[in-house]
């Protein structure tokens, strides 16, 4: 499981940003590891250490049917010789052909448990957890998306790889652990912007709560943009598709559309709206 760290930082020249006096670099966390890429590697790092220290031989976690976190957990467990159990939202998926994410997880040894939506919503309650542990044995529990204090600590290591030639870090938000960590790790005077990849105004509260649990109090150097989810999680529309096709043609790089594409769309939209003063040096984290 040798990661490529620090991940590369590449200047991206785009005439639309240059015209506004802005600079942008891509932090290529997607290149950290082929099977445990991006923020998933950073979020798992200290969780895997903790599981090892606690003598746990099984990782048990939760995700939707297209979860990158389930995939990454399966691959990490496979590489380290740990059993993995993935609790998947959607009872109706049981017995159906597996989508590529879940097929990958199973090929990497993950045992999938499909639960109905009500059970999934109650997944962090003792009733549901005790039952899962009774059936699948003792396990190290990772919350949905892997976002816990250990994940925040792992992501807080990213800013130290950025040098000091930057002002603003942009990152996509799913469960918020990555933003919580990056913001917590920023040096003074820098800030982070999270771009919500899903609908729901609760994400900022989640990020603040993760920071509170990890370091005692939230930091005041970040905020979440809620206007760029394009209809919700894994949804997209012609506006996003056009932006991404154009971006790929200009830069010979096709961003992952569910999170990274929405973040880049939002970054360019804010730039064109004048949200950044000329001279601002931006970094976009390519989380996967």
Ligand X SMILES: *Cc1c(COP(=O)(O)O)cnc(C)c1O
Order the strands of the 58-63 sheet from edge to edge: 110-115, 83-89, 58-63, 140-141
Pick from 70, 42, 33, 25: which is nearest to 253 by CA?
25
Q: How many residues bind ligand X (CB under 6 A)?
A: 19
Pick from 145, 150, 149, 157: which is nearest to 7 by CA?
157
- Write down the least CB distance from residue 119 to ligand X, Å: 21
Q: Decide if 266 contacts 227 (C-beta within 8 A).
A: yes
- Write down the least CB distance from residue 131 to ligand X, Å: 25
- Write down the least CB distance from residue 256 to ligand X, Å: 5
**C-alpha distances out from residue 251 to 14, 15, 172, 254, 279, Å:** 8, 11, 20, 8, 22
The whole-angstrom separation of Cα 53 and Cα 101 is: 29
Residue among 20 and 255 whose Cβ is closer to ligand X? 255
Here's the x/- map for ligand X, 51-70, by CB under 6 A: it reads as -----------------xx-
Residue among 77 and 174 whose Cβ is closer to ligand X? 174
Residue among 159 and 176 whose Cβ is closer to ligand X? 176
Q: Which of 7, 47, 101, 287 binds ligand X (CB under 6 A)?
A: 287
Residue among 20 and 40 whose Cβ is closer to ligand X? 40
Residue among 145 and 159 whose Cβ is closer to ligand X? 145
Residue among 20 and 29 whose Cβ is closer to ligand X? 29
Pick from 224, 186, 192, 181: which is nearest to 205 by CA?
224
Which residue number has the CB closest to ligand X?
288
- Write down the least CB distance from residue 62 to ligand X, Å: 12
- Write down the least CB distance from residue 277 to ligand X, Å: 27
Q: State both tokens at 181.
A: 């960590």
The whole-angstrom separation of Cα 185 and Cα 46 is: 15
Question: Is 198 one of the binding residues for ligand X (CB under 6 A)?
Answer: no
Here's the x/- map for ligand X, 238-277, by CB under 6 A: it reads as ------------------x--xx-----------------
Here's the x/- map for ligand X, 144-183, by CB under 6 A: it reads as -x-x------------------------xxxxxxx-----
The whole-angstrom separation of Cα 265 and Cα 247 is: 9
Q: How does strand 110-115 pair with strand 83-89? A: parallel
Give yes or no for a cis peptide into 6 (omega within 30° of 0).
yes
Pick from 7, 14, 16, 11: which is nearest to 273 by CA?
16
Where on the chain is the footprint of ligand X (CB under 6 A)?
A: 38-40, 68-69, 145, 147, 172-178, 256, 259-260, 287-288
């Amino acid at each position: 499981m040798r990661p490529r760290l620090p991940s590369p930082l590449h200047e991206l020249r785009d005439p639309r940003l240059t015209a506004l006096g802005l600079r942008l670099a891509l932090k290529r966390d997607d290149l950290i590891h082929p099977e445990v890429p991006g923020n998933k590697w950073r979020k798992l790092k200290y969780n895997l250490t903790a599981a090892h220290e606690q003598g746990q031989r099984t990782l048990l976690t939760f995700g939707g049917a297209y979860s990158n976190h389930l995939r990454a957990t399966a691959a990490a467990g496979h590489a380290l010789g740990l059993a993995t159990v993935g609790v998947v939202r959607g009872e109706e998926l049981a017995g159906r052909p597996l989508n590529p994410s879940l097929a990958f997880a199973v090929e990497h040894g993950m045992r999938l448990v499909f639960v109905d939506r009500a059970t999934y919503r109650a997944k962090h309650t003792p009733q549901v957890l005790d039952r899962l542990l009774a059936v699948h044995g003792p396990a190290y529990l990772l919350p949905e998306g892997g976002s816990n204090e250990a994940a925040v600590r792992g992501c807080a290591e990213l800013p130290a790889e950025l040098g000091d030639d930057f002002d603003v870090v942009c990152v996509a938000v799913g469960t918020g652990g990555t933003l919580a960590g990056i913001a917590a790790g920023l040096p003074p005077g820098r800030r982070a912007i999270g771009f919500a990849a899903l609908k729901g105004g609760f994400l900022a509260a989640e990020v603040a709560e993760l920071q509170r649990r990890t370091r005692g109090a939230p930091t005041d150097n970040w905020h979440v943009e809620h206007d760029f989810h394009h209809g919700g999680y894994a949804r997209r529309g012609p506006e996003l598709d056009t932006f991404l096709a154009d971006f790929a043609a200009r830069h010979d790089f096709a961003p992952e559309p569910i999170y990274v594409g929405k973040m880049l769309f939002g970054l360019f939209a804010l730039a064109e709206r004048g949200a950044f003063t000329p001279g601002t040096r931006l970094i976009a984290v390519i989380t996967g």
